[in-house]
Amino acid sequence: MVGIGIIGCGSITKWRHAPEYDGNKNAKIQGFYDPISDRAREMTSRYGGKIYNTVEEMLADPIIEAVSVCTANSYHAPLSIQALKAGKHVLCEKPMATSVEDAEAMIAAAKEAGKYLMIGHNQRLVEAHKKAKKILASGELGKVITFSTNFSHAGPELWSADKSAKTWFFNKKDAFMGAMGDLGIHKADLIRWLIGDEIKEVKAYVTTLDKKGPDGKLIEIDDNAICLLQSRTGIIGTLTSSWTNYGNENNSTVLYCTEGTMKIYDNPDFPLEIVKKDGEKIYYKIGGIQTNASQTKSGIIDQFVASIEAGTSPEISGEEGLAALRIIFACFESSAKGDKVVLE
Ligand SMILES: NC(=O)c1ccc[n+]([C@@H]2O[C@H](COP(=O)([O-])OP(=O)(O)OC[C@H]3O[C@@H](n4cnc5c(N)ncnc54)[C@H](O)[C@@H]3O)[C@@H](O)[C@H]2O)c1
């Protein structure tokens, strides 16, 4: 039985981490911490465990073996490193850090401590993405030529525990990045995993078009991005992230391959749709994807707990989180320079 502490008690804890640990027979939630103690109290009233007054108090408690870091982005790296140094395994939400150096320091801290660091890239675990990965690996659709991947919705102020323009998601100090860190990072991870190839070059527009902060001025972080990506083997595609798709959430990925096209979460009735070169259509009616309005089990917690129980490194490791982060940072750099950026 793995003793769990949860740091940050906002929406992702409420909808995923807490209920998913609670439903895992090999995990026991031992407590929560949030600077807004009422949020920790609400979680303990539903799931048990104690309210810790500080992160230090939680990390000093030997019944805590592993923690979830579910805070605003800027605190992911320092809190994860603090927890790893205290000898805890860490499941950190995405984006894992706000700089490459911080992400590298997290990976180094996990190695030094001999503890696991896993990142919350749960898109890999939804049914249609798992099936798509298998089909692509089987060669049934030949080789991927091009792709488009998109994660866009109406904005995090409809989701965050602070449901207004005051949410930390709109505040540069706490969030560091906008839709790209919130949504684009999911697709950066997904696409490199699906195609089994690394992105080597990007050209991007990352911009702020519509979201306004509490002062009525445009936020200082991105609310839209359209990025061109090229892989090492020459596959090209687009990655789009947006917080301004009002009335229309888009979480789709389309892969154009030598033997046909694969559409994922493009058709609301069929999460996975294949159209072969000869016109044959194959529809898979398998598990839907989580939306802000409809939460389903992500599976990320089960994978984290299973990895601790089995003593095997998590597949969605710090290194994997860093690879996705590098793509996002390359897009920021490209947009700022107005030129392509080559990833090392
Ligand atoms: N994997 C996913 O699909 C997914 C979905 C949504 C959010 N997230 C990520 O989860 C993280 C949290 O997002 P959310 O939607 O829960 O936000 P939220 O606004 O609902 O809640 C954030 C919580 O963190 C707390 N917090 C802030 N700083 C803290 C600190 N230093 N120590 C402890 N607690 C602190 C806040 O008080 C708040 O209760 C973000 O990084 C976000 O990107 C991931």
Cβ–Cβ < 8 Å for 278, 272: no
Are 116 and 145 contained in the same domain?
no
Q: How far apart are CA 78 and CA 106, in angstroms?
A: 8
Report the relative pairing of strands 89-92 and 117-119 from DSSP bridges: parallel
In a domain, 203, yes or no: yes
CATH of the domain at 28: 3.40.50.720
Q: How far apart are CA 264 and CA 149, in angstroms?
A: 9
**What spacing in Å lies between the alpha carbon of 309 and ligand 1's midpoint?**
26
What residue type is 105 in one-letter code? Answer: A
Are 176 and 282 contained in the same domain?
yes
Number of domains in the chain: 2
In a domain, 98, yes or no: yes
Report whether residue 124 contacts ligand 1, using a CB cutoff of 6 Å: no
Report whether residue 151 contacts ligand 1, using a CB cutoff of 6 Å: no
Are 22 and 108 contained in the same domain?
yes
Q: Which ligand 1 atom is the nearest neighbour of the CA of 161?
A: 20
Are 184 and 329 contained in the same domain?
yes
In a domain, 304, yes or no: no
What residue type is 205 in one-letter code? Answer: Y
Asked if residue 95 has a cis previous peptide bond (ω within 30° of 0), the answer is yes
Residue 261, token pair as written in the block? 């096209």
Are 151 and 285 contained in the same domain?
yes
In a domain, 305, yes or no: no
Are 139 and 259 contained in the same domain?
yes
In a domain, 48, yes or no: yes
The residue among 205, 258, 251, 252 whose CA lies nearest residue 235 is 258
Are 144 and 252 contained in the same domain?
yes
Are 140 and 238 contained in the same domain?
yes
Residue 158, token pair as written in the block? 């409809």
Cβ–Cβ < 8 Å for 187, 122: no
Report whether residue 187 contacts ligand 1, using a CB cutoff of 6 Å: no
Report whether residue 94 contacts ligand 1, using a CB cutoff of 6 Å: yes
Are 116 and 136 contained in the same domain?
no
- Domain span including residue 54: 2-121+310-315
User: pLDDT per position in the chain (344 positions), as tens?
Assistant: 999 999 999 999 999 999 999 999 999 999 999 999 999 999 999 999 999 999 999 999 999 999 999 999 999 999 999 999 999 999 999 999 999 999 999 999 999 999 999 999 999 999 999 999 999 999 999 999 999 999 999 999 999 999 999 999 999 999 999 999 999 999 999 999 999 999 999 999 999 999 999 999 999 999 999 999 999 999 999 999 999 999 989 999 999 999 999 999 998 889 999 999 999 999 998 876 666 666 678 899 999 999 999 999 999 999 999 999 999 999 999 999 999 999 97
Are 13 and 65 contained in the same domain?
yes
DSSP assignment of 65-131 equals: -EEEE-S-GGGHHHHHHHHHHTT-EEEEPSS--SSHHHHHHHHHHHHHHT--EEE--GGGGSHHHHH
Are 97 and 149 contained in the same domain?
no
**What spacing in Å lies between the alpha carbon of 7 and ligand 1's midpoint?**
9
Are 54 and 199 contained in the same domain?
no
In a domain, 336, yes or no: yes
CATH of the domain at 275: 3.30.360.10
Cβ–Cβ < 8 Å for 253, 194: yes
